């Protein structure tokens, strides 16, 4: 419940900052005539607001009056300035749109999947080629001490690299699982 209060307070503060002074004038000029690329339903504390949010130039814009009313705040319009007063303090609030989170997580998921695929291919190469080739080289050295020693050292290095790749693969799979958990949570 507090999170929603902080979220809405942050939105309200963002609206104040975005509409104050010359920055507001510049922003309003830049939004005038711009295409709305999406419409969003705004839900506050589980209740859908009658006013919709809009996506303009990749930025989510929310209906300030409806948000202020929903959180029990006070909105005063003085000239070209919107003054909002809330009961809940709202310092250091970060707002990330749910759709933006889903997109970001799906992009991250694809990156991790690609890394997993690359690591799995490397594991296969270590198991099918590189380690067996190093073992075969030791046998082919016919007991020549210097050759056996060199090939044995190389085999140990290869096995260490192999273990590192397997360890990294396990970490990547854990990252993927964490991303999938976050996606499932956002999907609720």
What pTM value is reported for the model?
Answer: 0.48
Tokens of 123: 């594991």
**End-to-end alpha-carbon separation of the chain, Å?**
17
Residue with the bigger pLDDT between 9 and 114: it is 114
Between the alpha carbon of residue 140 and those of residues 129, 131, 150, 156, 159, the distances in Å are 16, 14, 12, 17, 19
Residue with the bigger pLDDT between 148 and 123: it is 123
Report whether pLDDT(96) > 70.
Answer: no
Q: In this structure, are residues 112 and 169 in contact, taking their beta carbons and an 8 Å threshold?
A: no
Q: What is the pLDDT of residues 129-142, one digit of tens each?
A: 999 999 998 888 88
| Paired sense of beta strands 47-56 and 36-44, if any | antiparallel
CA angle 111, 39, 61 (to 5 degrees): 85
pLDDT score at 87: 66
Residue with the bigger pLDDT between 186 and 16: it is 186
Please count the CA atoms within 13 angstroms of the CA of 44 that sit on its side-chain side. 24
Report whether pLDDT(59) > 80.
Answer: no
Residue position matching structure tokens 């975005």: 18
């Amino acid at each position: 419940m507090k999170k929603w209060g902080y979220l809405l307070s942050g939105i309200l503060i963002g609206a104040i900052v975005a509409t104050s002074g010359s920055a507001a004038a510049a922003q309003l000029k830049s939004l005038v005539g711009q295409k709305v690329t999406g419409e969003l339903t705004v839900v506050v504390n589980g209740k859908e607001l009658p006013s919709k949010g809009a996506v303009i130039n990749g930025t989510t814009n929310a209906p300030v009056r409806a948000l202020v009313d929903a959180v029990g705040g006070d909105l005063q319009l003085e000239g070209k300035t919107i003054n909002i007063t809330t009961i809940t303090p709202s310092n250091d609030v970060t707002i990330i749109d749910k759709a933006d989170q889903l997109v970001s997580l799906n992009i991250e998921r694809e990156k991790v999947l690609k890394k997993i695929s690359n690591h799995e291919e490397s594991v296969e190469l270590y198991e099918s080629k590189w380690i067996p080739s190093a073992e075969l080289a030791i046998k082919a050295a016919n007991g020549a001490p210097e050759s056996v020693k060199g090939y044995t050292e190389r085999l140990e290095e290869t096995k260490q690299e192999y273990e590192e790749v397997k360890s990294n693969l396990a970490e990547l799979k854990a990252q993927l699982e964490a991303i999938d958990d976050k996606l499932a949570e956002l999907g609720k």
